Structure formats: C-alpha cells, structure tokens
A and B are shown apart, each in its own frame.
Chain A
Amino acid sequence: MSKIISVTGNHSASWAARTAIPAVIAAYPITPQTTIVEKIAEFVENGELKSEYVRVESEHSAMAACIGASALGLRTFTATSSHGLALMHEMLHWAGRSRLPIVMPVVNRSLGPPWNIWSDHTDTMSQRDTGWIQLYASNNQEVYDTVLMLFRLCEDPKVLLPGMVALDAYILSHTFTSIEVYEHDEITDFLPSYEAGHWKLDPKDPMATGNIAGPEYYYELSYAIHEGFEAARKLIPKVEADFKKHFGRDHGQFINEYHCDDAEVILIALGTMGEEAQLAVDELRNEGVAAGSARLRVFRPFPAEQIQALAKKAKAFVVIDRSLSYGHLGGAATEIRSALYRGGQTIPVQGVIAGLGGRDVRHTDIKKMFKIGFDVADKGEAKPDIFYGLKR
C-alpha cells in the first residue's frame, strides 16, 4: 500500500529506486549524493530491494557498469553529483549514443576548486550535449515521481535514451518533507517492466554495438538520437498525464507556470529557485503587482515552443541561472533567448546570475529581481546580464 513518509530529497530518490526495482544499480558515493546510495545499500541488504548492487570504485566505472547491465536489456540506476558527474562525462556520451535508458538522479553541486559542496547547476548544465534527457525537480515528491516518470519515458521504444533528474544540494537533498511512496506492485500499470526491443547482449542472437562506424553512418546515428529526443518531447505530456491518472499528481510537464496568464513580467528559474519564485509572486500579487513565475522543469528536450507561447503572455522575462558559462551567459537564459529568436519574438530577456556555490537566493531576493524585470518591461530593453548579489 502507498504510504506517507518523511524523507530527504536524497531518500526520495532511493525510495524511487526501491519502487522501480532496477535489475542493476552501480554507484559511487560523493557528497551530497551519498545518502542516496547508502539508503539503497540498506534496502538491498535488508532484502527490501532485489537489485544487484555494484559498489564500483569510481563514477566513471559506475556509468560504465550501468551501460554493461543496460546492454543486457535490464533496468539500471545510479546517482551522482558534481565532480562525480564530471568524471562520468565520457560515459554519459557512451550511454546516450548507445541508446540505453539508464536513470540517474544528480544532486546539483558546484565544481572545485575551491572545494564547495553547495548547490550550483554548473555540473548538470555542463552535460547538456551528452544525449541525456534532463529534468530539474523542485521538491522531494517531485524527485520521487520524476524518477518513476523517467523510467517510463526513457524505456519507451521510441525514446530509448538515458535520463537524469537534478535536485538542488541540501535545499532538497538533505531537507525532510513528507512524500507519498508506493510498493512496486502499485506502479506496474504505470511503469511496466522494461523489454529492450532494439538490441541487447544475447549469445543466442549475437550482435555487436559500438564498433567503428565511418562518416557515412555516424551522422545518421546522431540524427536518430535527435529523433529520440523529439519522441520524448511528444511523450512527456502523455507520461505526466498518465502519472496524474494513476497517482493524482503532476508537476507541470515542461514548464510549471504560476500566475503567468495575466503577468506583465514572468520570472523563469530552475529547481528550487523556481519554487521559491512562487513565494515572491504571492507577495507581489498581494501588493497588486502583475508578476508571474515559470519553473523550467525540462531542459532537454528543450521546450522551445512552450517558451515561445509563454513570451506571448508577458512584456519581459527575467531568467535566473544558478550556473554560468564563463565568457557568455547562464545556461537557461542562453536557451530561452535562442528559442525566442527562432520564434521571431523580441520581448526583452533579463539574465540574472545568482546562487552560485550555494549562495542563498530567497524570495526577497527574487522580488528584487522582479523589480528589475518591471523596469526592463517599461523600457522595452534588457540590461546587460546582472550578477545578483556579487560582492566586489
């Protein structure tokens, strides 16, 4: 029977693995992901979770082991963060290009030096082009639900791609809230067992994967991955609707909109900042200000059409990025501007960099960003990107 438990964001991820029952889990500990893999070890060793659990000697090996297991046509799972994700980079490409539906929560943490273990989206943003579906969660229930949704989405024969769900370090990873969890039997209607229909390692039908393919094939193989992402784009609303039908919850598909329909300024953010922005909107609405917020939940496939539709509702966007592509801009602002340009839209997009390395971004800060946004809406022109709260 489903039950309500009080858990951290990390344990929400562990519980999701317990519910989905991956055949193989291969993982390596890293702060602040550690408690995910510790809890899984507990589940496996007390017999609650019948997965093969490989305690590998690095994240690079964790992903390689997941690839090996997934290549047998089995459901696989791992989790990491920050430097662990960076070390995996080569194998993230390998998983994506192998079309293996591995699911992985990533606890968003900064990269060193200096050592810093707090929230920052640079780790996941740096993996944009690895062929992984990428979602950002904003609360513990969403972490749990998104892992289940990702298995369903990634294992779909038209998609067959790996997927990661990002959750902010500490703000989610180590913060307790109540969530609803299920036993495996209760979710099998929504998430049936994985049947690999494309290729797998099977001595009865020997096939090789990954051997040399020259320029006459590589391009088409890359395009096929792109098609997988387009299939995922079509399927995400369906999966989320189906999830709602079974479990009564959804998380807003691509973009979780809050008071956007009559907003003058819409502030866009990812993860917990997206949820924090709703508090700021509540206060501003009480003050009679037409503010709205949009939490960008799906980053790959990037919801360009939804961003274009959103732009029709407002006079200006403010985009907060908890990451910085040095020498350019924040990851989300870059994508949003690109989507608008493609849609022929000219509303000003005010980029704001904030919260790097775990610097707190409160709703009071977000209200100040809104203020800048209304100024931009009035003038019809964005300022150069703002480094909010930077001490010089």
Chain B
Amino acid sequence: MVAIKDLPREEYIELGHAACAGCGATIAIRHALKALGDNTILTVPACCMSVIQGLYPKNGLCVPVLNTAFMTAGAAASGIAAGLKYMGKDKEINLMAWAGDGGTYDIGIQALSGAAERQTNFIYTCYNNEAYGNTGMQRSGATPYGSFSTTTPTGKMQHRKPFARIMAEHGIPYTASISAAYPRLVYETYSKAKEFVGTRYIEIHTMCPTGWRYLTWDTVEMGKLAVDTGVWIMWEKEGEEWRFLGRSKQIAEGKVKRKPLMDYLKPQGRFRTLIKNPARVEEFERGIEREWKILKQRVEC
C-alpha cells in the first residue's frame, strides 16, 4: 500500500470547491485524480460533482470536464472514447465518467450497460452516497433498506441493488468496490485500473454527513464503520478472479470479527426510525448476509 508521503503532491481539485463539509465524494475524486494525473478527461452527469466543481465561469477541477445530462455518463464517454480512438490518443489519455448512485443505479444504467457491452475504453466511477444527494436526499436504487430519505420518510422498504456485481457480470476487465474512508486504497485502485483496456467500473462508498445525518467530522469514521460492520464490502474482480480487499478481506478470512451492525446504524439520523423496529433491523442484516454469501462464493470458486 502506498505511503501517504509517497502520494503525488499534485492536486486536481482546487481548494474552495463547493462540497459540503465532510464530503466523502471529494476525498474520493481527489485521490482518484492523483492516480490518473494530468492526462485525463472527465465527464460528469448531474450529481453532487456538478455542484462541487464550482460555478461558471470558474471550475475547481484541473482536468477537462464535459458536464452532461443525468442519464448519459456512459454514452457521453462512449463518444469521447470513439473520438480519442479516431485521434489515436486512446492509449495516452485516461477517460473517466464520474457519476453518483442515482446517475448509475437508476437513470444511467442503460447508457452504462451499453458502454460496458461495447467494451468502451474508459473508467466509470460510481461514487455512491446512497441517495440523490444533489437534489436533497431522495431515495435511489442504492439507498439501503430501512433508510430515511425525503421520498421514503418512514424508511425504504427495499434492499439496494448489488450494482457493482451487476457490472462485474458484464465481463469487463476490472471492477472494484471500495470506500472513500481509505484514500490510499482509492489511489491504488485507480493506479491499477488505468492500466487496463476496456470498461473499468469502480464504485466508491462516499460518506455523506448531509444526507446520512451524522456529524461532519465523523466522515472517515462512518465509512470505516460501514466496512467494519460488513454493511459495505470492499472487493475487486480482475479478469475472472474475484478477491476481497482491505478490512473486508480480513473479515472474510475470519481475521477480524465484524462489528455489531448497531455501531453503524445508531450514529446516523437516517436510520433513526429503522433501529426502533427490531424486525426491520433483522431484515437489514439478512440483506448483508446474503451479499457476503454471494461474494464469498465468487471469491472461492
């Protein structure tokens, strides 16, 4: 694992960007771009990053950015990728789509799935804050079971989609599920992903104090708790090989025990209603167990 002192000094997101205090997505993009470097083109659909990058005529991102419509990250990237290929620059320039969970799990799934099926040469990042953050925390396909959102005020009744797995099953060369609580892992994942040709899907769990309703200075702690309790699982699939990553690997191998689920649910306002209902907490837990079981099968075979 790269040492903090060895991370590139270059910054590709300027100080003074417009993110909320404690934003996990900003940690994520900062370290992703450190790995990709100058020679990168970014396309961003409607999401928090549309706001975070700042207001016209300025921009806080230091690489070229094509902002695009909500459902089009995969498609806009397909066009850029085709153009780069035409120009003979597809090998030297890193192309990345940077989309939220709404723009990925829901409205953007078609364009993304199409791009992956066409083996489009780009990195697709879903930074997952588990709701429509930019519009004020409405439910998305990534919102966890039981979570409050402004469109599920008494708690969501369905489990989230196992979306990174869905992308892995597209047969793309590289898929990863990581967390912004581990910036060095973010950096390493992108350093690795940029070496592949074809569609690479990276999903980053990005903590969101505004939406999840915890204290801003607890962001990294909250991300780590998601992993420690097993709610968020870090893994990668390289070629046909699946493997767990970081703390999730230690959990899978039995080296550390998962922390109690309540450690993660209790500090977050969005689970305030859920935790009063033991039957629903059990259902939440069943969802986690199911995902661990499936991923363990993938890793072991």
Contacts and interface: CB of A to CB of B under 8 A. Distances in A.
Contact of B84 (A58, A72, A206): A72
B67 A65 contact: no
Contact of A74 (B68, B72, B75, B83): B83
Contact of A201 (B51, B66, B86): B66
B65 A211 contact: yes
Contacts of A74: 83, 86-87
A61 B75 contact: yes
Could you tell me the dominant secondary structure of chain A's interface residues? mixed
Interface stretch (B106-114, B170-178, B194-202, B203-211): B106-114
Given A71-B66, A211-B65, A91 B79 contact: no
B239 interface: no
A91 B66 CA distance: 13
A94 interface: yes
B26 interface: no
Contacts of A384: none
Contact of B69 (A64, A66, A217): A64
B55 A213 contact: yes
Question: Interface size for chain A: under 10, 10 to 19, 20 to 34, or 35 or more residues?
Answer: 35 or more
Contacts of A57: 110-111, 113-114, 117
Interface stretch (A8-16, A48-56, A179-187, A373-381): A48-56
B93 A68 contact: no
Given A52-B86, A201-B66, A203-B38, A212 B79 contact: no
Interface string A19-55: 0000110100000000000000000000000011111
A243 B253 CA distance: 72
Contacts of A64: 68-69, 72, 75-76, 78-79, 111
Nearest to A73: B83
Contacts of A71: 66, 79-80
B167 interface: no
Contacts of A208: 53, 59, 61, 64-67
A71 B61 CA distance: 17
B174 to A, nearest CB: 22
B56 A213 contact: yes
B62 A210 contact: no
Contacts of A205: 64
Contact of A67 (B38, B40, B76, B117): B76
Interface in B113-161: 113-114, 117-118
Interface centre among A54, A68, A213 (most CB of B within 10 A): A68
A315 interface: no
20 contacts: A23-B83, A24-B79, A24-B86, A26-B82, A52-B82, A60-B72, A61-B75, A61-B111, A64-B69, A65-B82, A72-B84, A74-B83, A76-B79, A90-B69, A94-B68, A203-B39, A203-B63, A205-B64, A206-B64, A210-B67
4 closest pairs, A vs B, by CB? A68-B79, A210-B67, A65-B79, A57-B114
